[in-house]
Amino acid sequence: MLKLHNLSKVYRTDEVETVALNSVNVEIASGEFVAIMGPSGCGKSTLLNIIGMLDSPSSGDYIFMEENVAGYNEAKLSNIRKQNIGFIFQSFNLIDELTVEENIELALLYHNIPASERRERVAHVMDKVGIAHRAKHMPSQLSGGQQQRVAVARAVVGDQAMILADEPTGNLDSAHGQEVMEMLQQLNEEGTTIVMVTHSPAHADYARRTINLFDGHVVTENLRAAE
Amino acid sequence: MFFNYFKTALRSLMRHKLFSSINILGLAMGLAAFILIILFVRNEFSWDSHWDRAEDIYRLENTYVRVGQPDRPTPNAVEPLKQVFFDTFQEVEAIARYIDGGVTLRHDGELFSQQVHFAEPGYLDFFGVDVLKGGFDAASVKLSDLAISERTAEKYFGDAPVLGQKLTLRIGGEFRDFYVSAIIADPEVHSVVQHDFVVPFNREYFAGARWFSEDWRFAYWQTYARFAPGTDMALIRAELPAIVDRFLPKNQQGQENGRNWSMTLGLVNIGDVHLYGNGTNAKPDVLYGFTGVAFLILLIAVVNFLNLSMARTAHRAREVAVRKVLGASRRQVVQQFLGESILLAFGALLLALTMVEIALPYYNEFLSSIIEMNLLGEPAMLGALVLLGVGVGVSAGSFQATYFAMLKPHDVLYSNTASDNGTSKLRQGLVVAQFSISVALMIIAFFVHKQTEFARQLDLGFTADNLIVLSGTNNERSNEIKQRLLESPFIEAVGRSSDVPTEGSEDRLHIRPVTGGDPVMLDGLPTGPDFFKVYEIPLLAGRYLTDAGADVLRDRVEDAEYASAANIVVNEMGAKLLGFETPDAAIGQQVSADLSSSLRVDATIVGVVEDFHFDSARDVIRPGIYYIDFIRNSDMSVRIDGNNRDAAIAAIEQAWHATYPDSILRYRTMDEMVERQYQTDDQLSNILAAFTLLAVLISCMGLYGLASFTAERRTKEIGIRKVLGARLADIVGLMLWQFSKPILIANLIAWPVAFYFLNDWLNGFAYRVELGVLPFLVMGAGALLIGWLTVAGHALAVARSNPINALKHD
């Protein structure tokens, strides 16, 4: 699916240079479920952002589906991103002015999909995450778990091959957290590649592989034994 | 997709109701003010554009010039020029001329005053005036025919048939019958050619009038020439001085006091006559000033809109970031926000048009104008407004759109607070711009008002109340009516003069001072003996003039001649200019005064009066000399008993009818004439005040909106400060100071601008107020106070909130 080769990210201000990622080499295959862990400030989010093409590396290669996207401009990245990658955030990032249904549909609006098909797919994915009964509600009327389910639905409604989840359970209580994890696991079993940043070892256990980052380096990669 | 944008935009607006209404309302008010001012200005500039081929029609104007004398511009041209023009310029296609005059009209035994155009044949064709009924053909028209407008017909005949009906006009001292042969279209309101009553010109009517000379001495024809399309008027104008050189008879003597004189010719396009023609009251400069104010207000409103839109970006950043993550391209983001902004601007424009529609009647009353807004009938205006809406929308939206287009989604998505979006510097700058304009307008409006009041309270040197000025008495019955008037107990005094105060004097007399040296120039005013008594102008030394003996320079007799010596009165400045230290020193002294190049009079000063205003308050009082010339007594000033005004006016009516049974009494009141001098400045002052208020209001609306956003954004910071021990006053002070800075900077910008502008404007006045520092400071402090009051509510609300709530906000 993707391969990072000697990838570095350096943030520069006038006086300070911060190395967020230092010669990272990571390979993620299609259909994998990878957890990224590490203490605050180790570069987890930067790594996820670069994988998600929301940020560009300072040096090194990023091969995404056989294509080196490291030097691509924003428009090109945006195009690859919308075809292939879905996002889930800790703070949900739903649009307050839109209903549940409309929030999910938004992911299809930028794909030139006819309205009838959009409705069908939104309905289907709402069923799948169990939020159909809240279709007409505004985000502010939902619980955190429900909001994150909407976010998951939004991430997958476009049939994205890969989902990037940044602490998807960080704002949720344990019961709701588990619910979301199970949903991700199910998606993974259906073939979606999942890359997740998390602090929770328990939730990292859902992944088949864990990458531990420390000060911008990959420290260890643990492969979970097949159960 | 569009529907999705629309929905998000609408819901976002509804969610922030206060903000949205401030945003839209502010822009709408600014647009409405802009439209109102532009309508008025455009209206003033669009006079007489309705004529067929208006661009080719020019009015020929003569200005008499005489060395050492002020120019005497007239709106008219002299008799010989028509033929001269046809002979000189092949480009002249046609010339229409008429004499504009007021006559007494008799209908059904009742007398009316009627303004009449005595027109040469072809007048209606030239202007393309529609003949609605009957005919007025140049070929078949009879001297007794009349063409009257629809509204004039209705005035005299109501619904009754009009064609062939008789109307009697008093022309040249006798009543003559005319018969209506044509009904013509009403003249446009905004036209200098008011063709309500057209009478075929007949030389016989005027044969007895002193001014009706067929040479170059008197200009009385309103003369309009139509040039061939594409004529280069610069070339034509360049020829005009040569025409005067060639055709004006050399050394021709002027009027009674004729020096050598000459004339300049002017050609004014008919569309410009209202604003730039000779004898106009219009002030194009003021119109340009208003246009400037209109654009400033629009600027403030647009800045407001911009500013509030930018403040809102913080709230919508998350939405945009999500859209981008989901695949929205830059172009789509730009489209969305530009579209939204344009939509909002159009909403404001619609609201503005509604406001204008509602305000127009009051506005018209305020300006005593007749402005209409008929958008469907004016595609150009409609187009301009649409363009304005799009322009405002694009300019406001482009900031937002560009900012969002450049937005990096991860910057927003990974922070939980609404970030300051980097536009806060720009926003502060815009607030500075707004308040600079507002403060400058406040200062300017204040001084314009002060100057207007100052001019109004200026001591005129005479008493303007209870004075009635009659014209049409400069004839053999002048003494008769004077006697009749004085018989009434309600009439205190009657005086005569060639002109009256506010009108200015056109005579300049050259007199050699007693101390020797070059002759000095004094304004001459032919008066009757009672002039000073009527105007209550105090005597400083000597005595007033009487109507007998050596006091009379020229008597009203057959073939009157000037005396070679006479007694005169001068004003205090005149006495000084002639070299006398004190008024008393001048009494009994003799000077020789040149009434004209060929008429020198030995003048003995018998009285010195206090200085008084004879021109507008804009002009200085000038040295004056007053002498008795019974031939030049056009105006009769009547001082009436102010407590019995109605009775006094009735007495004047009675005396008039007894003396002049065949004509209508026409009179003016001096206080109105004085008032009219201040009218334009007054109007300027009022309009400026009104629109300044609006500008300040719009600025404050913007500030209010901004404050609400800042308060929201700073809740966390303020929560932390409170936890660390800040008191209520500290927090309020913090918030107030944030908004004080831009206003203080705005003052620094506004002061010099206002000073420069005001100094320039005030220099146009002979007697002006001084530009003190205090009003500047007060206005600045006022702006600051207004600013504080505007944001105080938010500051207090934030300062009072529980810090825990603020911190949990995260």
Domain boundaries, chain A: 2-221
Asked if B12's CB is within 8 angstroms of A97's CB, the reply is: yes
Distance CA B794, CA B55 (A): 58
Distance (Å) from the alpha carbon of A225 to chain B's nearest alpha carbon: 33
Read off φ and ψ for residue B636, nearest 5 degrees.
-115, 120
Q: Which residues of B touch A51 (CB under 8 A)?
A: none
Of A49, A52, A75, the CB nearest to B330: A75
Of B4, B322, B410, the CB nearest to A49: B410
* Lowest-confidence segment of A147-156, A176-185, A197-206, B369-378 by average pLDDT: B369-378
| Per-residue DSSP letter, A224 | P
Average pLDDT over residues B7-35: 83
Distance (Å) from the alpha carbon of A227 to chain B's nearest alpha carbon: 35
Distance CA A58, CA A55 (A): 10
Does the structure show a pLDDT above 90 at B560?
Answer: no
Burial A106-143 (b: 16+ CB within 10 A, else e): bbbbbeebeeeebeebbeebbebbebbebeeebbeebe
B586: nearest Cα among B564, B598, B567, B570? B570
Distance CA B186, CA B196 (A): 7
| Angle (deg, nearest 10), helices B284-325 and B424-457 | 160
Does the structure show a pLDDT above 50 at A226?
Answer: no
Residues in CB range of B635: below 8 A, 6 or more apart = B469, B470, B471, B496, B497, B498, B499, B500
* 3-class DSSP assignment, residue A227: coil
The size of chain A, in residues, is 227
Pick left, alpha or beta for residue A88 (phi over 0 → left; psi -120 to 50 → alpha; otherwise beta). Answer: beta
Asked if B329's CB is within 8 angstroms of A102's CB, the reply is: no
Asked if B408's CB is within 8 angstroms of A55's CB, the reply is: yes
Of A81, A105, A166, the CB nearest to B327: A81
Mean pLDDT of chain A: 88
The pLDDT of residue B617: 64
Average pLDDT over residues B217-224: 91
Nearest CA in chain B to A87: B325
How is residue B793 written in tokens?
A: 């509510």
The pLDDT of residue B804: 64
Distance (Å) from the alpha carbon of B404 to chain A's nearest alpha carbon: 14
Q: Mutate one of B4, B325, B331, B404 to test the A interface: name it (highest A CB count within 10 A).
A: B325
* B584-607 pLDDT, tens digit each: 999 998 888 887 767 788 889 999
B616-to-B60, B456, B759 alpha-carbon distances in Å:
28, 11, 20
Burial B383-418 (b: 16+ CB within 10 A, else e): eebeebbbebbeebbbbbbebbbebebbebbbeeeb
Ordered DSSP codes for A159-176: --SEEEEESTTTTS-HHH
B318 vs B479, higher pLDDT? B479
B41: nearest Cα among B341, B284, B344? B284
Average pLDDT over residues B33-53: 89
Considering B157-161, B546-550, B697-701, B719-723, the range whose residues carry the highest mean pLDDT is B157-161
Nearest CA in chain A to B315: A96
* A61-85 pLDDT, tens digit each: 999 998 999 888 878 888 888 889 9
Distance CA B535, CA B532 (A): 5
Asked if A106's CB is within 8 angstroms of B326's CB, the reply is: yes
Q: Which residues of B touch A106 (CB under 8 A)?
A: 4, 322-323, 326
Asked if B1's CB is within 8 angstroms of A109's CB, the reply is: yes
Nearest CA in chain A to B317: A95
Average pLDDT over residues B396-405: 79
Does the structure show a pLDDT above 70 at A173?
Answer: yes
Asked if B1's CB is within 8 angstroms of A54's CB, the reply is: no
Mean pLDDT of chain B: 85
Q: Give the strand order in the sheet containing A162-166.
A: A85-88, A162-166, A193-197, A33-37, A209-214, A217-223
Does the structure show a pLDDT above 60 at B453?
Answer: yes
Q: Mutate one of B15, B17, B318, B326 to test the A interface: name it (highest A CB count within 10 A).
A: B326
Asked if A74's CB is within 8 angstroms of B12's CB, the reply is: no
CATH 3.40.640.10 fits A2-221, yes or no: no
Numbered residues of chain B with Cβ closer than 8 Å to any chain A Cβ: 1, 4, 7-8, 11-12, 15, 318-319, 321-330, 332, 408-410, 413-414, 416
Distance (Å) from the alpha carbon of B15 to chain A's nearest alpha carbon: 8
The pLDDT of residue B225: 95
Q: Which residues of B touch A107 (CB under 8 A)?
A: 326-327
Asked casually if ipTM beats, i.e. exceeds, 0.85, the reply is no
Average pLDDT over residues A15-36: 90
Is B652 exposed, middle or buried (CB count within 10 Å of its CB: 0-12, 13-18, 19+)? buried
The pLDDT of residue B809: 40
How is residue A125 written in tokens?
A: 């994915």
Map tokens 């069908």 to a residue: A120
The pLDDT-based confidence of B258 (bands split at 50, 70, 90) is: very low
Asked if B410's CB is within 8 angstroms of A54's CB, the reply is: yes
The pLDDT of residue B28: 92
The pLDDT of residue B251: 57
Distance CA B630, CA B546 (A): 12
Q: Which residues of B touch A45 (CB under 8 A)?
A: 410, 414
* B496-538 pLDDT, tens digit each: 998 888 888 777 788 888 777 788 888 888 888 889 999 999 9
Distance CA A103, CA A62 (A): 30
Of B8, B325, B413, the CB nearest to A98: B8
Q: Which residues of B touch A81 (CB under 8 A)?
A: 325, 327
The pLDDT of residue B183: 94
The pLDDT of residue B810: 39
Nearest CA in chain B to A89: B413
Does the structure show a pLDDT above 80 at B75?
Answer: yes
Nearest CA in chain A to B328: A110
Sequence ranges of the domains in chain B: 2-43+284-455+676-808, 68-259, 491-640
Asked if A91's CB is within 8 angstroms of B416's CB, the reply is: yes
Dihedral of CA A53/A57/A63/A68: which sign?
Answer: positive
The pLDDT of residue B100: 93
DSSP strands (E only) in B598-720: 599-609, 624-629, 635-640, 667-669
Q: Are strands B599-609 and B565-571 parallel, antiparallel or unpaired?
A: parallel
* B408-420 pLDDT, tens digit each: 777 766 654 444 5
* B261-318 pLDDT, tens digit each: 788 999 999 999 999 998 887 778 888 888 988 998 988 888 888 777 777 776 777 7
Distance CA B285, CA B493 (A): 41
Nearest CA in chain A to B333: A110
Asked if A111's CB is within 8 angstroms of B11's CB, the reply is: no
Ordered DSSP codes for B281-322: ---HHHHHHHHHHHHHHHHHHHHHHHHHHHHHHHHHHHHHHH
Of A75, A96, A107, the CB nearest to B326: A107
Distance CA B83, CA A147 (A): 92
Distance CA A126, CA A121 (A): 8
The pLDDT of residue B256: 37
Is B64 exposed, middle or buried (CB count within 10 Å of its CB: 0-12, 13-18, 19+)? buried
Distance CA B48, CA B187 (A): 10
B465-to-A203, B461, B462 alpha-carbon distances in Å:
97, 12, 9
Q: Which residues of A touch B409 (CB under 8 A)?
A: 54
Of B8, B330, B409, the CB nearest to A95: B8
Asked if B410's CB is within 8 angstroms of A95's CB, the reply is: no
* 3-class DSSP assignment, residue B570: strand
Average pLDDT over residues B721-729: 75
The pLDDT of residue A222: 80
Numbered residues of chain A with Cβ closer than 8 Å to any chain B Cβ: 45, 49, 52, 54-55, 74-75, 78-79, 81-83, 87, 89, 91, 93-98, 102, 105-107, 109-111, 154, 166
Nearest CA in chain B to A82: B327
Average pLDDT over residues B541-546: 90
